[in-house]
């Protein structure tokens, strides 16, 4: 295929992919299988690889960006992003209608769900998505284009020629079910959860690494045109155009004749609230005719032609019976409210998070208090505040404990840090988290090793470290409640299977602070074995593009800690694979034998040996006919003369480095 043909084919593929993407993510009505879709994308990728000059910003291959950013650039919105005035009662909505009537006469309205997510502005030039920004202070926001590109329902190129230059507004959200799943996974790993889907959406969009954003199930509804190169008569029509050109608009958007119609529909939306797969916190009522919108204008904060009606919060009051303390994977102590069970929006709630001791102090919530709790689609409800008027005087504050409630060790509270930690790395609570984390799906993926099994293993004293998992016997497991011959064998098999997991999973599973999935992959890509990684110094690690300073520090600290070195030795001893599988047939020095003699100037011997081994070479100590290379340093010994006689290839230090770095 020549370049002209490739160009044509690329265009065809992009159109086809965009069309199927639209069918899948916007219309929810896929026309081809995921496999067929991937095939199209792969075809496009390989053509673009061949002709990189043909890659354009709007190509579907450009959804997931490359390297993380250092920070976001501030951008000015084309039109200020206003917020909406809130109302809480239907009478307030009637008052809004009165004000509208006074200024522009009777008005038709459009009512939409008010999506509880993060507002964004998307700019299109010549039909192509060129910039996306957060709301920020309404005048300026952060440029989050590469993050937004990962959201598949955002068109990278608009359909047709109706609209070319336009800025639209919409709400990015984290679907409720996915949010619960995400938080559950985080809890399993002993990692931070998002307080609610809104924070999850906003927090994801603030990630500097768009690859992380791509792994989150974000979605968007578009509800407003803030700037356009053409005119629209009504909001209803504008929404229809948005839909035509490829945007995802909310299907519950509805035109009503008057304010009573709007109120009825608000009621309907509130009833529907629990059945939706995204969070809504109210309804938005907008004057339909643009000429009337224009006449009504806006204040410095809000438009006068729209208003939000906020639903009653999903809140309830109940008694706080106790404040329990949980110890997490890194030893962090978290206060948890134990509540008198209460119904909140159809769900019985008996525990709520208090986040940390700073927050506990700020809220001054006490044992015995009547508290207001709130649930916003999240798995972990929150304590909003104590109802002070209901205090009897017998309520008790919970102080930061002096000792770990699990192991009794000393507690550390570093100045300036929110977290309060148990100092004991061997605390059973932490061990439990570490094992769960090690076994989790993204790490060693050990099936049948659930949280309660881990608890029992620790209780029985079968495991004191991750490595002990690999010494478990069938008899051990059979002593645990609930295990029979078959299930015990299944667990043993899964543990055995995990021995040959990839190096990046192992690195991730070790639970090094700040080392997530991506950092682990970066580390494994540079260091093909745990031994090599453990010897890397700060400078070397800093060279890895994409690794932050904190991560580098944490990696060094981890491998400098005696206990962790012991753990790695133990893992090695029980047969866990500590290296990346390399296809040895491609290795440059496969089977070549090396001998060193004399001192090296720039390398240490172990480092030089590693370099040889990495490339498949073998280090020996004796000089014989089958020796391939002898590396000759300063003040060489007798091996030098012997090798020379035998005609072995001699390498000085520079030549050696050149060879292994090839
Ligand atoms: S219209 C000038 N419609 O709520 C009018 N906003 O408190 C711009 N929101 O900043 C807003 N759903 O982030 C509009 N259907 C909807 C909405 C919506 C959610 C958010 C938006 C806005 C905030 C206002």
Domains of the chain in start order, with CATH, are 3-62 (1.10.287.610), 86-310 (3.30.470.30), 315-390 (2.40.50.140), 428-498 (1.10.150.20), 503-573 (1.10.150.20), 587-660 (3.40.50.10190)
pLDDT in tens, 147-197: 999 999 999 999 987 889 999 999 999 998 899 888 888 877 777 778 788
- Between 39 and 314, the more confident residue is 39
List C-alpha distances in Å: 169 to 78, 121, 130, 248, 255: 11, 5, 14, 11, 19
Distance 315 CA to ligand 1 centre (A): 23
Give 78's pLDDT tier (boundaries 50, 70, 90): confident
pLDDT-derived band at 379, boundaries 50, 70, 90: low
Separation of 53 CA from ligand 1 center, angstroms?
40
Tell me what the mean pLDDT of segment 238-263 comes to.
96
Residue 609 pLDDT = 84
Q: Give yes or no for residue 69 having a pLDDT over 90.
A: no
Q: Which residues are catalytic?
A: 114
Top-confidence range, 251-265, 346-360, 596-610: 251-265
Tell me the pLDDT band of 398, cut-offs 50, 70 and 90.
very high
Mutation pick for ligand 1 pocket among 308, 310, 311 (CB with most ligand atoms within 8 Å): 308
φ and ψ of 113, to 5 deg: -65, 145
Question: Which residues lie with the beta carbon below 6 Å from any ligand 1 atom?
Answer: 82-84, 112, 114-115, 119, 169, 171, 223-224, 284, 303, 306, 308
Residue nearest atom 2 in ligand 1 by C-alpha distance = 82
What's the CA gap between 395 and 368, in Å, rounded? 5
Mean per-residue pLDDT, 518-534:
88
**290: CA distance to ligand 1 center in Å?**
17
Confidence of residue 518 (pLDDT cuts 50, 70, 90): confident
- Residue 112 Cα to ligand 1 midpoint, Å, equals 10
Q: Which two tokens stand for residue 309?
A: 């009606």
Confidence of residue 43 (pLDDT cuts 50, 70, 90): very high
Residue 250 Cα: closest atom of ligand 1: 15
Q: What is the pLDDT of residues 301-351, one digit of tens each?
A: 899 999 999 987 788 899 999 999 999 888 899 999 999 999 886 678 999
Rounded mean pLDDT, 246-261: 96
Distance from residue 142's CA to the centre of ligand 1 (Å): 18
Identify the pLDDT of residue 618: 83
When pLDDT is averaged across residues 385-407 and rounded to a whole number, the result is 93
Are 655 and 629 in contact, with CB atoms under 8 Å apart? no
What's the whole-number mean pLDDT along residues 198-218? Answer: 92
| Distance, CA of 120 to CA of 132 (rounded, Å) | 7
* Average pLDDT for 31-57: 89
Percentage of residues in the chain with pLDDT exceeding 90?
Answer: 65
Is 645 in a helix, a strand, or coil? Answer: helix
Closest ligand 1 atom to residue 306 Cα is 5
Give the position, in ligand 1's atom list, of the atom nearest the Cα of 302: 2
CA atoms within 13 A on the CB side of 647: 2
Which pTM value belongs to this model?
0.62
Q: Which atom of ligand 1 is nearest to the CA of 116?
A: 19
Say what the pLDDT of residue 309 is: 96
Q: Under a CB-based contact definition with an 8 Å cutoff, are residues 419 and 332 in contact? A: yes
Residue owning the nearest CA to atom 23 of ligand 1: 83
Say if strands 629-632 and 649-651 run parallel, antiparallel, or are unpaired: parallel
pLDDT of 585 reads 53
Confidence at residue 64, expressed as pLDDT on a 0 to 100 scale = 78
Tell me the mean pLDDT in the region 36-47. Answer: 91
pLDDT at 155: 95
- The pLDDT value recorded for residue 180 is 85
The pLDDT mean for the chain works out to: 90
Q: Which atom of ligand 1 is nearest to the CA of 303?
A: 2
Residue nearest to atom 12 of ligand 1 (CA): 114
Residue nearest to atom 13 of ligand 1 (CA): 119
- Residues 495-499: contacts with CB under 8 Å, at least 24 apart: 495/446, 495/449, 495/469, 495/470, 497/446, 498/439, 498/444, 498/445, 498/446, 498/576, 499/470, 499/574, 499/575, 499/576, 499/577
- List C-alpha distances in Å: 560 to 203, 508, 512, 533: 33, 17, 12, 11
């Amino acid at each position: 295929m020549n370049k002209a043909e490739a160009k044509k084919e690329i265009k065809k593929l992009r159109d086809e992919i965009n069309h199927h993407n639209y069918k899948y993510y916007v219309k929810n009505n896929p026309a081809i299988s995921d496999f067929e879709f991937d095939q199209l994308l792969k075809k496009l990728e390989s053509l673009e690889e061949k002709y990189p000059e043909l890659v354009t910003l709007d190509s579907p291959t450009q959804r997931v960006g490359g390297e993380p950013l250092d920070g976001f650039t501030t951008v000015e919105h084309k039109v200020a992003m206003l917020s909406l005035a809130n109302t809480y009662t239907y009478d307030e909505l009637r008052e809004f209608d009165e004000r509208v009537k006074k200024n522009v006469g009777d008005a038709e309205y459009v009512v939409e769900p008010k999506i509880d997510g993060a507002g964004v502005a998307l700019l299109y030039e010549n039909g192509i998505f060129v910039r996306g920004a957060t709301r920020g202070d309404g005048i300026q926001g952060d440029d989050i284009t590469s993050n937004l590109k990962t959201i598949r329902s955002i068109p990278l190129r608009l359909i047709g020629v109706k609209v070319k230059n336009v800025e639209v507004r919409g709400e990015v959200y984290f679907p409720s079910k996915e949010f619960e799943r995400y938080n559950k996974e985080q809890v399993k790993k002993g990692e931070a959860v998002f307080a609610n889907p809104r924070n999850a959406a906003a927090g994801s969009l603030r990630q500097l690494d768009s690859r992380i954003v791509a792994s989150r199930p974000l979605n968007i509804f578009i509800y407003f045109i803030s700037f356009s190169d053409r005119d629209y008569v009504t909001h209803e029509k504008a929404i229809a155009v948005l839909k035509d050109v490829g945007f995802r608009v909310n299907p519950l958007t509805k035109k009503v004749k008057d304010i009573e119609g709007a109120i009825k529909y608000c009621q309907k939306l509130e009833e529907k609230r629990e059945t939706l797969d995204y969070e809504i916190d109210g309804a938005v009522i907008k004057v339909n005719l643009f000429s009337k919108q224009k006449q009504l204008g806006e204040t410095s904060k809000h438009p006068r032609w729209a208003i939000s009606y906020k639903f009653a919060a999903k809140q309830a009051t109940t008694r706080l019976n106790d404040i329990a303390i949980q110890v997490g994977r890194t030893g962090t102590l978290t206060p948890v409210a134990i509540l008198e069970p209460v119904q909140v929006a159809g769900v019985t709630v008996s525990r709520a998070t208090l986040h940390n001791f700073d927050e506990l102090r700020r809220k001054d919530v006490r044992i015995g208090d009547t508290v207001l709790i709130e649930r916003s689609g999240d798995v972990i409800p929150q304590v909003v505040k104590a109802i002070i008027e209901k205090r009897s005087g017998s309520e008790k504050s919970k102080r930061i404990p002096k000792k770990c409630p699990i192991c009794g060790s000393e507690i550390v509270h570093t100045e300036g840090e929110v977290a309060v930690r148990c100092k004991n790395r061997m605390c059973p609570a932490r061990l439990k988290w570490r094992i769960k984390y090690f076994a989790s799906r993204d790490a060693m993926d050990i099936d049948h090793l659930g949280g309660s099994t881990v608890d029992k293993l620790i209780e029985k004293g079968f495991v004191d470290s991750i490595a002990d998992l690999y010494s478990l016997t069938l008899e051990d497991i059979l002593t645990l409640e609930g295990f029979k011959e078959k299930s015990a064998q299944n667990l043993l098999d899964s543990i055995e299977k995990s021995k040959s997991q990839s190096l990046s999973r192992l690195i991730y599973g070790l639970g090094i602070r700040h080392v997530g999935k991506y950092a682990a992959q970066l580390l494994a890509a540079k260091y093909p074995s745990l031994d090599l990684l453990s010897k890397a110094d700060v400078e070397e690690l800093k060279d890895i593009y994409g690794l932050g300073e904190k991560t580098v520090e944490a990696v060094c600290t981890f491998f400098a800690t005696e206990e962790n070195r012991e753990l790695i030795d133990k893992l090695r001893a029980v047969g866990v694979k500590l290296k990346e599988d390399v296809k040895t047939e491609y290795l440059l020095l496969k089977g070549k034998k090396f001998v060193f003699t004399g001192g090296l100037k720039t390398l240490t011997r172990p480092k030089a040996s590693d370099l040889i081994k990495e490339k498949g070479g073998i280090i020996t100590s004796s000089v014989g006919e089958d020796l391939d290379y002898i590396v000759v340093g300063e003040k060489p010994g007798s091996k030098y003369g012997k090798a020379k006689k035998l005609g072995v290839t001699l390498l000085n230090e520079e030549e050696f480095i050149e060879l292994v770095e090839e």
